Amino acid sequence: MKRFIEENNQKVYDVIIIGGGITGASVAYEAASRGFSVALLEKNDFSAATSAATSKLIHGGLRYLANFEFGLVRESLKERRILENIAPNLVYPIPFIIPLYNTGARSKWIIEPGMIIYDLLSYDKGFTWDDSKKIPWHKYISRKKVQELESVVKPDGMTGAILYSDCTSIIPERLTLAFIKSAVKLGAEVANYAKVVDFLRSNGTVEGVVVQDLLLDQTSNVRGKLIINCGGPWADLILDVATGKQNSQNIRRSEGIHLITRPLVNHHCVGMLSPSGRHFNIIPWRGHSLIGTTDREYIGDPDAYEITREKVEEFLVEVNGALNEKDQIAYSDVLFTYGGLRPLVEDQTKEVYKSSRKYEIYDNEKDGLKGLITVEGGKYTTSRSLAENVVRMAVKKFGMGSYKSITAKKYLAGSEIKSINSFIGSAIFENEDFSEITIDYLARVYGTEFTQVLKIARNQPEYAAPINADGEILAQVVFAIRNEMARTLTDILLRRTGIGTLGHPGEEVLQKVTEIAAKELDWDKTRMDQEWKTANKALNVPQ
């Protein structure tokens, strides 16, 4: 992948996309697949913001049934199946346990009918391309069975549980990247660290954007017929730039944080209820537990958002209130934290937790900005179908481009795998010079591209040794820089690989990664020190 803004081209693109989260990535792929020429601009790294802050669930969203959002849940369940199909190495079914109590929102009489509706709305869950991705219908399990399966659930008042399945995306940052790579394969041009700082306008029509290349510190114009604002929690600020006014449209933002800890659950995602009635999940992930999420209104500049010790401590009080004595988590047990801001489309709901996760697509022609479309809200899970709807609007507007979407029917780039189990089996068998753990991990995370990582390791054996329990290897660092537009240490550690997402990997590993990056990217000592400092801040739990 090449950062297209480094080359001064005079093209006029059909579509310019602002934002390289999952929404922008999906829109880029959808538009490119319909025959549009596409440019995508991201001011940070791809998937560095909300799209990296998820609970890693690809799900219908059982709790949205409580708001009677049947349309949203059905759309999400359909997209869940599509993502299982088109990204088989990245999206997997995961069993959930929802403990039941005698009274309240967790009583069997409320959850059971909800589960029947959930199952009915996912009536097509058996029609997956790969048999291993089929999702079973829900069932009831006894109190004793819950204790056997996941002892983290407090027995007091618990009457049993519902066992059902949803999906997890093992590395959402790379799922976003897979959409971007799929777009690039079809001709889309993309750039990270490319911030849209102004719009080119003529007689009420938006004709392009002014882009600041944050790496080369230079500004250029990118021209296009249609601009799509996929700025997530920044979408309103981008609109301010387009209109030249302040607060042209305010988005409500809600903050969500996650904690990584030692394993508290075995194989199930457990839906916990805190003493104050807050719902949170404990999700098994890479031999650890992922606990999340909070959901609290965030007021302020999205660029200034950060997780503080106070916020983590507050969340820990809620979490510990729901855990057994033996499972209590101290602050020092928290290995890593991450968080992000949800843009919420409705501003009526008092509690952001109850606010809808539906998305909205606005044609800004109504505001005197012909040629600009803004997308707001949504879930990671529904991004592909959101993109279908946005591009349908573009096709209608232009009277060009293919009307038919193909993105639900084709594997994403690197995911061309018919049976994930046979693929992993063959990968292990054919690459005996690496440990099974390494091959299993790389084949899932890189799909069919894992052989390119192995090639680097075979050429440079010093990059072939496993550096963590997942079997990750330093050849991934080289691959990230040469093939995947990684330009900073955090791009490598947090988004192209999983080296940093279970917490600080240790000084020795960080040193090696920094040295490889410095060599590949030609960093001097000052740049190395800067990168080291930024990476340490991102990897350490706030103190």
Ligand X SMILES: Cc1cc2nc3c(=O)[nH]c(=O)nc-3n(C[C@H](O)[C@H](O)[C@H](O)COP(=O)(O)OP(=O)(O)OC[C@H]3O[C@@H](n4cnc5c(N)ncnc54)[C@H](O)[C@@H]3O)c2cc1C
Residues at the contact surface with ligand X, assessed by CB under 6 A = 18-24, 41-44, 48-51, 53-57, 195-196, 230-234, 238, 256, 293, 340-342, 378-381
CB atoms closer than 10 angstroms to residue 365: 15
* Minimum CB distance to ligand X, residue 264 (Å): 18
Name the residue nearer to ligand X (CB basis): 72 or 467: 72
Cα(461)–Cα(465) distance, rounded to whole angstroms? 8
* Minimum CB distance to ligand X, residue 507 (Å): 29
What is the torsional sign of CA 362, 365, 368, 373?
A: positive
What is the torsional sign of CA 29, 30, 35, 41?
A: negative
Pairing of strands 38-41, 12-18: parallel
Name the residue nearer to ligand X (CB basis): 222 or 489: 222
The position carrying tokens 């995306």 is: 169
Name the residue nearer to ligand X (CB basis): 355 or 514: 355
Q: Kind and range of the H or E element at 377?
A: strand 372-377
Judging by beta carbons within 10 Å of its beta carbon (0-12, 13-18, 19+), is residue 195 exposed, middle or buried? middle
β strands within 133-277, DSSP E? 139-142, 158-169, 189-191, 194-202, 205-213, 218-229, 252-261, 269-273
> What are 370's strand-pairing partners?
205
Name the residue nearer to ligand X (CB basis): 92 or 423: 92
The position carrying tokens 């693929």 is: 423
Name the residue nearer to ligand X (CB basis): 355 or 405: 355
CB atoms closer than 10 angstroms to residue 421: 12
Q: Which two tokens stand for residue 301?
A: 């500049």
* Minimum CB distance to ligand X, residue 254 (Å): 7
Cα(171)–Cα(219) distance, rounded to whole angstroms? 33
Judging by beta carbons within 10 Å of its beta carbon (0-12, 13-18, 19+), is residue 32 exposed, middle or buried? buried
* Minimum CB distance to ligand X, residue 512 (Å): 28
Cα(188)–Cα(37) distance, rounded to whole angstroms? 6
Name the residue nearer to ligand X (CB basis): 380 or 434: 380
* Minimum CB distance to ligand X, residue 381 (Å): 4
Name the residue nearer to ligand X (CB basis): 237 or 510: 237
* Minimum CB distance to ligand X, residue 477 (Å): 22
Query: CB-hemisphere CA count at 13 Å for 471?
Result: 16
Name the residue nearer to ligand X (CB basis): 190 or 442: 190
Q: Looking at 205-251, list the stretches that DSSP marks H as alpha helix, in order from N- to C-terminal side.
A: 235-243
Q: How many residues does the chain have?
A: 543
* Minimum CB distance to ligand X, residue 256 (Å): 2
Name the residue nearer to ligand X (CB basis): 268 or 342: 342
Distance of CA 131 to the CA centre of its chain: 25
* Minimum CB distance to ligand X, residue 426 (Å): 31
Angle at 500 between CA 188 and CA 331, to 5 degrees: 135
> Minimal CA–CA distance to 164: which of 96, 99, 108?
96
* Minimum CB distance to ligand X, residue 41 (Å): 5
Name the residue nearer to ligand X (CB basis): 42 or 207: 42
Q: Kind and range of the H or E element at 388?
A: helix 383-398
* Minimum CB distance to ligand X, residue 194 (Å): 6
